Amino acid sequence: MKKSIILAAVAALVLAGCTKNETYVVNTEKDAVSFGAYSGRAVTKAGPTDDINLKALAEHGFGVFATYSATDDFSEATNDFMYNQQVTSADEGATWTYSPVKYWPNPTNGQAADAQKVSFFAYAPYADPEATGAVNDYGVTGFEIDGATKHNIVNYTFAANKPNVDLMWGYKTKTGDPATYTVNLNLTRTTDNVKFIFQHLLSKLGGSQEGAITDPANPAYVANGLMVKASPISDPTAEYGNVTLGDFGGAKGTKITISDIKVESAPDTATDPSVKDIDNNDVTYATGAQTGKLDLYTGKFTLDSPTPQAIKFSQELSADAAAVAADENLSEIADFLKEVPGVTDFNAVKKGVTKQAVNVYKDESNPIILIPGTKPVVDITVTYVVRTYDEKLPKGFSEVSQKVFGRLKFPEIEKNKKYNILMILGLNSVEFKATVEDWTSETPTWTDANGNGVVDPGEMSGTEEIWLPNNL
């Protein structure tokens, strides 16, 4: 049976209204330097190790470097006006504040009015690796000025086997295709705010987004991130969803509940010679710290290693709420999908997996950060229980526990994109699909021809489909 990775920006479901996140600061003092920020994505939970959106940006802040160059244009970073200045918001982006407040230079010695210039550069989320006692062994680990370009540099380190920190770059405007970015260069005294638009420089796998309500009964529900659906197939050559068998989630049908889901990087080729990436190359992982640099002038993020190497990752979701509470590395499965051991009444079994693709997270979960330029191989293990109503049986239903494994191979990861995984649990098969969802605010054209709420092959305009070998 074929599996596909659909390279498409599946943003039609989740981007509605995201451009309303732009905020402006009302200046109470004419000459005070003030800030505004915009983030093109939204998430349910805000956190420094998670998706950074406007709400998270407001809470954790962004860092600003600023150089005063008198009446000359910017030529090199001196950071003599601001150095890693934290800017935050107490009202989720309505107003932005910082301290101490800085004021625009005034014209002096007969200069033309407002001729003195300040240039501003920003990154997010804010970090203070230079604070006394700070331990920053991953995420933003330090700052420097490049000796050749004289640009501000943000040093970043990837963590292995733990949620990585998002990294965003603040620019002023974007035009054209391919895009040309401008930054806040050579600004003179103004009553307007200095506005930054923040762009993700890395990519992520899974995690949910704003609107990804984990309740399919809610009309506002949007499934994205790490998803699951039931699609029974009797003909192994048929495409997903073409054959209907039984009633999934019904009072007298079949119920599939999930005990555990594990998403992790595949072993490297040296450990398992059968593991190859999508281009049949060996899979290798960084043996030491995987570090990179963000140029705040150009917005380019480059790895210090000349050859991009993947980082190991592992994320596990459990139906056991107590285990999740005791282990910060676990995430909880959505209530309506949870396996509850020892049930004796079929009506007490959760509704479980149905033909509608649903988000597996109970709450927002830390996503897996991926390195642009790498071609990850992802292993997925799902433990679930299938129960079918049968009044002739002692319990009134059959009960079978299953543990299945699948492997997905991704093409080269691109920055600023969100990669989704859809798990398809069937009576005679378990298949996996992966989609990619653009983090930017452009909305592609999607025609849901079969009305199943999932982007299937051929439904997204401009998509490129790469068919993988049958590796389950």
The pLDDT of residue 338 is 93
The pLDDT of residue 448 is 66
Task: Give the containing element (helix H, strand E) for 58.
Answer: helix 54-60
Read off φ and ψ for residue 198, nearest 5 degrees. -100, 135
Residue 221 within a domain? no
Residue 113 sits in the same domain as residue 44: yes
Residue 178 sits in the same domain as residue 273: no
Residue 52 sits in the same domain as residue 111: yes
Residue 34 sits in the same domain as residue 155: yes
The pLDDT of residue 136 is 76
The pLDDT of residue 219 is 54
The pLDDT of residue 436 is 65
The Cα–Cα gap between 310 and 316 comes to: 19
Residue 216 within a domain? no
Cβ atoms within 10 A of the Cβ of 111, count? 13
Task: Give the containing element (helix H, strand E) for 92.
Answer: none
* Chain segment 130-150, per-residue pLDDT in tens: 888 777 788 899 999 999 999
Residue spans of beta strands (DSSP E) within 333-469:
358-359, 368-370, 377-389, 397-409, 417-425, 430-438, 464-468
Residue 240 sits in the same domain as residue 319: yes
Residue 256 sits in the same domain as residue 158: no
Residue 198 sits in the same domain as residue 230: no
Taking the C-alpha atoms of 443, 446, 451 and 453 in order, what is their torsion angle to the nearest 10 degrees?
-40
The pLDDT of residue 23 is 25
Residue 168 sits in the same domain as residue 269: no
Residue 444 sits in the same domain as residue 342: yes
* Chain segment 335-390, per-residue pLDDT in tens: 889 999 999 999 999 988 887 778 888 876 567 888 888 899 999 999 999 998 88
Task: Give the containing element (helix H, strand E) for 57.
Answer: helix 54-60
* Low-confidence residues in the chain, pLDDT < 50: 1-30, 37-51, 210-213, 234-245, 441-444, 462-472
Cis preceding-peptide flag for 178 (omega within 30 of 0): yes
* Chain segment 104-135, per-residue pLDDT in tens: 887 766 666 668 899 999 999 899 998 887 77
Residue 217 within a domain? no
- Secondary structure letter of residue 111 according to DSSP: P
Residue 207 within a domain? no
Residue 48 within a domain? yes
The Cα–Cα gap between 41 and 416 comes to: 10
Residue 209 within a domain? no
Residue 327 sits in the same domain as residue 179: no
Residue 386 within a domain? yes
Residue 327 sits in the same domain as residue 463: yes
Residue 295 within a domain? no
Residue 152 sits in the same domain as residue 232: no
Helix (H, G, I), strand (E, B) or coil at 381: strand
The pLDDT of residue 290 is 85
Last residue of a domain, one of 161, 186, 202: 202
Question: Whole-prediction pTM value?
Answer: 0.71
* Number of separate domains in the chain: 2
Domain carrying residue 75: 16-202
